[in-house]
Amino acid sequence: MIRPKYEFCDPSEYQGSPDDMDGPLPPNLPVIPTYVQHRQHGRVQKYVLEMAQHPVRARMCGFGEKDRRPLDPPPVVRLRVRDDDGDFMLNEDVDIWKFVVSATLWAPSSDHDRSIVINPNTLPGPVPMYQSSSSVISLSEPVKVRNLVGTTVSNAYLLKDENDDLNIFFIFHDLSVRTEGQFRIKFQFAVIPSEDDPRAFVESVTWSSIFEVYSAKTFPGMTDSTELSKAFATQGIKITIRKSSRGRSYHGRFDDNPDDDGDNEDDDDDNDAGPASPPTPGSGLR
């Protein structure tokens, strides 16, 4: 029997790994029941989560912890808030400081969670046919690690988009995938509990389009930066911006980044500087 290239696990079995820098997964929250209501300034609020920018492709980052290859372009989620009359509220009237969105990795069919994978380097190899009776076989437990690595939870940011419209965004500039294949990302919005309302629920859900993760040898290179990403960079968000499909890249505020992955060449993993620093929550226009 041929063993599959990657073995994925039930996320409920994962408690974190010493070999995994990103720690445990975001909590699995229940979907909000219909009787629960949120109020701000005396008005009931209902939340609508939608994709503002879909990832298209990425180069797999493998099972080391130094080499991060972010999704391209970075996924961005937009939140719209309705009042009890069904009208969309002005974004500047919404208190965003308790808003968070979490990301998990799924199969293209959206029916299998692909967030956790077994590190293939920890799987036992084949046992020799003629094993000496005096030999001792060491059987260690395979190591489960996160397949979607990086910052999987984003705070809310009040920023202008490429059309100069003010919106509530959640930016995932630091997501990488260890394994090659096709995937989707599930984004779930929640409000951080408070003393007055200690319950937490999934208030709204949206999905990315299907994207492809390539091996180092088949990766076609990074795409040109989108106008939305450029708009965020001009507002101080530290997000990688590429000047052209073959040119050098820079982060927000024009920081230089020599490792742009603009071609099919296999970069030196030991020289990878790792992900960009995460943006400061609540930055941008307030």
Average pLDDT over residues 67-77: 91
The predicted pLDDT at position 128 comes to 53
Average pLDDT over residues 55-68: 86
The predicted pLDDT at position 270 comes to 38
Average pLDDT over residues 217-237: 94
The predicted pLDDT at position 248 comes to 47
Structure tokens at 265: 């060449």
The predicted pLDDT at position 272 comes to 39
The predicted pLDDT at position 252 comes to 54
Q: Is the model's pLDDT at 170 over the cut of 50?
A: yes
Q: Which CATH number fits domain 11-124+138-219: 2.60.40.3960, 3.40.50.2300, 1.10.3720.10, 2.60.40.180?
A: 2.60.40.3960
The predicted pLDDT at position 143 comes to 80
Of 77-81, 190-194, 240-244, the range with the highest mean pLDDT is 77-81
CB neighbours of 66 closer than 8 A, spacing ≥ 6? 269, 270, 272, 274
The predicted pLDDT at position 187 comes to 96
Average pLDDT over residues 200-220: 91
More confident residue, 4 or 96: 96
The predicted pLDDT at position 68 comes to 78
Q: How many CB atoms lie within 10 A of CB 102?
A: 20
pTM: 0.75
Weakest-pLDDT range from 48-57, 70-79, 201-210: 201-210
In which band, very low, low, confident or very high, does the pLDDT at 38 lie, cut at 50, 70 and 90? low
Q: Is the model's pLDDT at 229 over the cut of 70?
A: yes
Q: Is the model's pLDDT at 208 over the cut of 50?
A: yes
Average pLDDT of the chain is 75
Distances (CA, A) of 31 to 36, 78, 104, 197, 202: 11, 19, 16, 16, 5
Q: Where are the alpha helices (DSSP H) in the chain?
A: 227-234
